[in-house]
Amino acid sequence: MDSKDAVTCLAALAHEQRLAIFRLLVKIGPPGSPAGEIADAVGATPTAASFHLKELDRAGLIHATRAGRYIRYAVHFDGMRRLLTFLTEDCCQGRPELCGSTIKKARTLCKGGSK
Amino acid sequence: MDSKDAVTCLAALAHEQRLAIFRLLVKIGPPGSPAGEIADAVGATPTAASFHLKELDRAGLIHATRAGRYIRYAVHFDGMRRLLTFLTEDCCQGRPELCGSTIKKARTLCKGGSK
DNA sequence: TGCATAGTTCAAGAATCCTTGTAGTATGCT
DNA sequence: AGCATACTACAAGGATTCTTGAACTATGCA
């Protein structure tokens, strides 16, 4: 992940409805949820929900899969983990004793961590 | 941290220069750096740097302390940790086996983790 | 084939944010 | 006190992003 990708992710999340959608999908986990239910849950019109879901998808934070007439959206844990890793990279010059020594744990997120 | 605070933080970070400043300060850690050096490091004019530093400060991601004629900025680990916690809250409905069981580690960040 | 449902795309106006220069404030030195 | 340095505040133009409704595409069922 480079700086541009990170800015795209952060801009995607820097919006009340999109943040609500993202957190909802984080909570739901791998099974995800169809677009209509997501729209209802966050109080968005179908048009707005579609627009915001596409933004989150483009940023690589969620992904879509068609299931019959529904399109299910689920959080993309790998994208999420890459973003958090990028934000905390080289914390305290790699000398964790400067900040409490636990920052490295931020890198071992959902779906296995390392790499 | 509520949804509005998180959006403020994310919007603050969703900008190339501000993200560069934040990551620089994360890397430097507690000692921080004066505004002028930060401006040079990220290639910003003094005016732009001041503007962006204020944004990050307002969002609670960094904090300023005057040291003589210099104003040093340093990352505010607590604000940073609160944001990461907020983003990963209730991951997979609290059933970490759904996503790899390591998400909880994201909450134990710099400065000692919990609350 | 024809209709209903689920979701997306398009376009235009409105709102917001970014950029930049100039002026101003605070500190330190002589 | 007077001057230089370090940084901040203000303001206006320009660019980007958000919102909304109407039209469009895709799927499933009878």
Q: How far is the CA of A49 from the C1' of C12 (A)?
A: 20
Please give the pLDDT value at position B39: 95
- The CATH class of A3-77 is mainly alpha
Which residues, in sequence order, are CB contacts of B91 under 8 Å at separation 6+? A26, A27, A29, A110, B99, B103, B104
Name the DSSP class of B76. -
Q: Which nucleotide is nearest to B68 (CA to C1')?
A: C27
The pLDDT tens digits of the residues spanning B29-55 come to 999 999 999 999 999 999 999 999 999
Cβ contacts of B107-110, under 8 Å, gap ≥ 24: B107/B81, B108/A102, B108/A105, B109/A88, B109/A100, B109/A102, B109/A103, B109/A105, B109/A106, B109/B77, B109/B80, B109/B81, B109/B84, B109/B85, B110/A91, B110/A92, B110/A99, B110/A100, B110/A102, B110/A103, B110/B77, B110/B80, B110/B81
What average pLDDT does range A4-14 have in this prediction?
96
How far apart CA A5 and CA A79 sit, in angstroms, is: 10
Chain A residues whose CB is inside 8 A of the B84 CB are 84, 87-88, 106
- In the 8-state DSSP scheme, what is residue A101? S
Predicted pLDDT of residue B92 = 76
> Does A98 touch chain B if contact means CB atoms closer than 8 Å?
yes
Query: How many helices (H) and strands (E) would you count in chain B?
Result: 5, 3
Tell me: the pLDDT tens digits for A15-27?
Answer: 999 999 999 999 9
Judged by CB atoms within 8 Å, which residues 37-76 of B form the interface with A?
none
Give tens-digit pLDDT for A47-93: 999 999 999 999 999 999 999 999 999 999 999 989 999 998 888 77
Tell me the C-alpha to C-alpha distance, in Å, between residue B31 and each of A4, A104, B27, B63.
27, 20, 10, 11
Quick check: A95 contacting B, CB < 8 Å?
A: yes
On whether the CB atoms of residues A92 and A99 are closer than 8 A, the answer is yes
pLDDT at site B99:
61
How much is the pLDDT for B90? Answer: 80
The beta-carbon neighbor of A14 closest among B11, B22, B23 is: B11
Range B52-77 average pLDDT: 95
What percent of chain B lies above the pLDDT cut of 90? 71
Q: Which residue's CA is nearest to the C1' of nucleotide C17?
A: B11
- Cβ-defined contact of B27 to A84 (cutoff 8 Å): no
CATH code matching the domain that covers B1-115, chosen among 3.40.640.10, 3.20.20.390, 3.40.718.10, 1.10.10.10: 1.10.10.10
B27–A19 C-beta distance less than 8 A: no
